Amino acid sequence: MVENQRGLDIFAHVVLLLGVATVAFPVYIAFVASTHTSTAFVSGTIPLLPSTHAPASYGDVLAGGVAAQMSVPISLMLFNSMVMALLIAAGKIVISVLSAFAIVYFRFPFRVLGFWIIFITLMLPVEVRIVPTFAVIADLGLLNSYAGLTVPLMASATATFLFRQVFLTIPDELTEAARIDGAGPMKFFRDILLPLSQTNIAALFVILFIYGWNQYLWPLLITTDSGYYTIVAGIKRMADVVESEPLWNYIMAVTVLAMLPPVAVVIFMQRLFVKGLVDSEK
């Protein structure tokens, strides 16, 4: 920061510690639940401290001991989730950055209409349009395929909107300078816009990766082959016991394991949006 104000720094730390404590509390509970036996969590006020059963829970899960519950090896589910997350995140970013570029930097008929049409996709969740959407997927022959799992989810209004905001803040002088230099639009896009959008692309990648990672209903609806199960589908399957108690320790153990790849992505992307490593001077 600019000046060195100890008071403000300490206050900031306190705020952050409180924030982390509240925001991370449910995650902490998940971890605690994974270290107890399956019955410890429904027999009285839930314990707040971890217990000693972690090796048993995690060992069982990783060694495939709960395969009975999920019917598919955990490695396969993690793989499917990874494929979906990466494809969707990459696809969304690529498509949206191009669309935003078109909308902001060009004038053409139906420009504004195009933006609103893209925006409307936020306003009708899958559950509401499940019957016709399923029919479309079936007609296109995309059931039980990675294409069907990822392509329909690649239109992202939030990403397009975000890039629009970012591009609008970029000074016109840069664009004029580029045009004077004889650079075409795509060169401008590649050499100037993309680098300046780096922090936002990184942030978006984290969010979109997690979005793809946590997909549950869409894969459930359009795949009947359990070889396409995602990790969240596996977790839900373990929790969906109708007339008895789920095995909470296993469910939470898998949940904690399922959070590791997104955390890895977050840590990896940090380098792109923490100050000092990004030249943000315009």
Partner 1 sequence: MSFSKIAAAGTVSLLALAGTTQAQTQIDWWHAMGGELGEKTEALATAFNASQSDFVVVPSYRGTYTETMTGAIAAFRAGEQPDIVQVFEVGTGTMMAAEGAIVPVYQLMADAGVAFDPSAFLPTVVGYYTDPEGRMLSMPFNSSTPILYYNKNVFAAAGLDPAQPPRTWAEMESFSRQIMASGAAECGFTTGWVSWVQLENFSAWHNLQIGTLENGFGGLETELTVNGPVQARHWENLARWQQEGVFKYGGPGGGADAPPLFYAQTCAMYMNSSASRAGVLNNTPDFEVGYGMLPYYDDVAGAPQNSIIGGATLWVLAGGSAEEQRGVAEFFNFLSSPEVQAQWHQDTGYLPITQAAYDLSAQQGYYAANPGADTSILQMTLNTPTVNSKGLRFGNYVQIRGIIDEEFQRLLAGDVDAQGALDAVVSRGNALIRDFEAAN
Partner 2 sequence: MQTKRTIFGNKGLPYLLLAPQLAITAVFFLWPAGQAVHQSFLREDAFGLSTTFVGLRNYRALMDNSEYLNALQVTVVFSIATVVLSLGLALILALAVDRMLRSAAAYTTLLIWPYAVAPAVAGILWWFIFNPSIGILPFVLEQTLGRDWNHNLSGQDAMILVVIAAVWKQISYNFLFFLAGLQSIPASLREAAAIDGAGPVKRFWTITLPLLSPTTFFLLVVNVVYTLFDTFAIIDATTGGGPAQATNILVYKVYDDGFVGLNLGSSAAQSVILMLIVMMLTFIQFRYVERKVTY
> Exactly one of 241, 260, 267, 277 binds partner 1 (CB under 8 A); which one?
241
Distances (CA, A) of 102 to 111, 170, 182, 191: 9, 15, 19, 16
**Tell me, what amino acid is at 192?**
I
Q: How far apart are CA 12 and CA 97, in angstroms?
A: 34
Token pair 């401008």 is found at 188
> Exactly one of 3, 243, 279, 281 binds partner 1 (CB under 8 A); which one?
243
Q: How far apart are CA 186 and CA 250, in angstroms?
A: 51
Q: How far apart are CA 138 and CA 66, in angstroms?
A: 33
Give the pair of three-digit tokens for residue 199: 């922090």
User: Which of 46, 194 has the CB closer to partner 2?
Assistant: 46
**Tell me, what amino acid is at 184?**
G
Asked if 281 is part of the footprint of partner 1 (rule: CB under 8 A), the reply reads: no
123 binds, among partner 2, partner 1, none (CB under 5 to 8 A by kind): partner 2
Shortest separation between residue 209's beta carbon and partner 1, angstroms = 24
> Exactly one of 1, 2, 4, 43 binds partner 1 (CB under 8 A); which one?
43
Window contacting partner 1 (CB under 8 A); options: 96-104, 187-195, 245-253, 259-267:
245-253
User: Which of 246, 262 has the CB closer to partner 1?
Assistant: 246
Window contacting partner 1 (CB under 8 A); options: 17-25, 50-58, 148-156, 239-247:
239-247
Give the pair of three-digit tokens for residue 61: 């899960």
Within 219-238, which residues bind partner 1 (CB under 8 A)? 220-221, 224-226, 236-238
What is the C-alpha end-to-end distance of the chain, expressed in Å? 19
69 binds, among partner 1, partner 2, none (CB under 5 to 8 A by kind): partner 1
238 binds, among partner 1, partner 2, none (CB under 5 to 8 A by kind): partner 1
Asked if 135 is part of the footprint of partner 1 (rule: CB under 8 A), the reply reads: yes
Q: Which long-range CB contacts under 8 A does 149-152 form with residues at least 24 apart?
A: 149/84, 149/215, 149/218, 149/219, 149/222, 149/223, 149/228, 150/83, 150/84, 150/87, 150/88, 150/91, 150/212, 151/91, 152/218
User: Which of 41, 205 has the CB closer to partner 1?
Assistant: 41
237 binds, among partner 1, partner 2, none (CB under 5 to 8 A by kind): partner 1
Shortest separation between residue 264's beta carbon and partner 2, angstroms = 10
143 binds, among partner 1, partner 2, none (CB under 5 to 8 A by kind): partner 1
Query: Of 228, 213, 215, 248, which is closest to residue 69 (Cα–Cα)?
Result: 248
> Exactly one of 138, 147, 260, 263 binds partner 1 (CB under 8 A); which one?
138
**Tell me, what amino acid is at 71?**
S
Query: Of 253, 214, 232, which is closest to residue 61 (Cα–Cα)?
Result: 253
Which chain residues interact with partner 1 by CB under 8 A? 38-39, 42-44, 68-69, 71, 130-131, 134-135, 137-139, 143, 217, 220-221, 224-226, 236-247
